[in-house]
Amino acid sequence: MIVKKKKRPVKTLARGRPPTVKKPGSISRKATRGLINSIHQLEKKKAQAAAKGDKAAEVAVDAEIAALGGIQKYQQASLQGQRNDRGGDSSRVLMEWLKPKFSASGLAADGAVRVRMLEVGALSTTNECSRSGFFDMERIDLNSQGDGILQQDFMKRPLPIGDTQTFDIISLSLVLNFVPDARTRGDMLLRTLDFLKRPYTADAHDVFPCLFLVLPAPCVTNSRYMDEPLLERIMNALGYMKTHSKITQKLVYYLWRRTVPMPARFPAFKKAELRSGSTRNNFSIVLCGSTT
């Protein structure tokens, strides 16, 4: 059965990202954490203004974000968070999960056969995966910060023509939480299926093709509209099966294996309150159901 999708305008991820300004200097650990939190809060305000069609409010929020340093300052803060003395980059967790698989399959670093990876929201060409020698990397970001990273919106990326343009793994590390609204987050998860290779084995112990997803922990542990069981139901509906997970105080890491070529149909997941309380955040994912 073929999934029929309702056509609607594709929202660009740029709408959920701060404006570009001049590159700043180094910032401290405390300032790094404060800057990231402040920009995330402002992005929520911007998304709310956009939902109401309040252009003046959007412009005002953009000005506030620019005053904090804009996308370059945010990306610099994220890069500093990837330094080893600040916990390292998220791809270290991915490599911990994948290295045993590589060893069992006989895949060697810098070998002739490599795993094709698409890294969305790439900030660096020197993270753990990039240095490992196991991957044929393609990196994209809305605002490329250097050579080796293509400036591109994932939601506007041309669809693959043939299997040679698809990937064994897609990385969405701290990307989904920056998408400006819940429905577009669902669209992004659905769109990953267009770029991943189709499942090529029924072996439940295999890990590819897969999606590496990293979110701030509160998106799952303290959201009014999202928890881990709901996230797993959404991913299962799209044909993903969780193979690995890790939760820390700050981040949640998941590896999801694609198990079916394309789900014939899947249910809708609407925004609904799961937990009450004034200290909860409003992170959510909305998935429009398929029709046949």
Strands of the sheet with 251-258, listed across from one edge? 150-151, 135-141, 115-120, 169-173, 210-216, 251-258, 240-247
More confident residue, 75 or 45: 45
DSSP string, 158-198: PPPSSGGGSBSEEEEES-GGGSSSHHHHHHHHHHHHHHBPP
Q: What is the pLDDT of residue 205?
A: 56
Q: What is the pLDDT of residue 289?
A: 82
The pLDDT tens digits for 213-224 are 999 999 999 999
User: 187 burial class (0-12, 13-18, 19+ CB within 10 angstroms)?
Assistant: buried
Q: What is the pLDDT of residue 83?
A: 45
Question: Which residues make Cβ contacts (< 8 Å) with residue 254, sequence separation at least 6?
Answer: 211, 212, 213, 214, 231, 242, 244, 245
Q: What is the pLDDT of residue 22?
A: 43
What confidence category does residue 137 fall into, taking pLDDT thresholds of 50, 70 and 90?
Answer: very high
The pLDDT tens digits for 236-254 are 999 999 999 999 999 999 9
More confident residue, 31 or 192: 192
Residue 1 has pLDDT above 50, yes or no: no
The pLDDT tens digits for 90-102 are 999 999 999 999 9
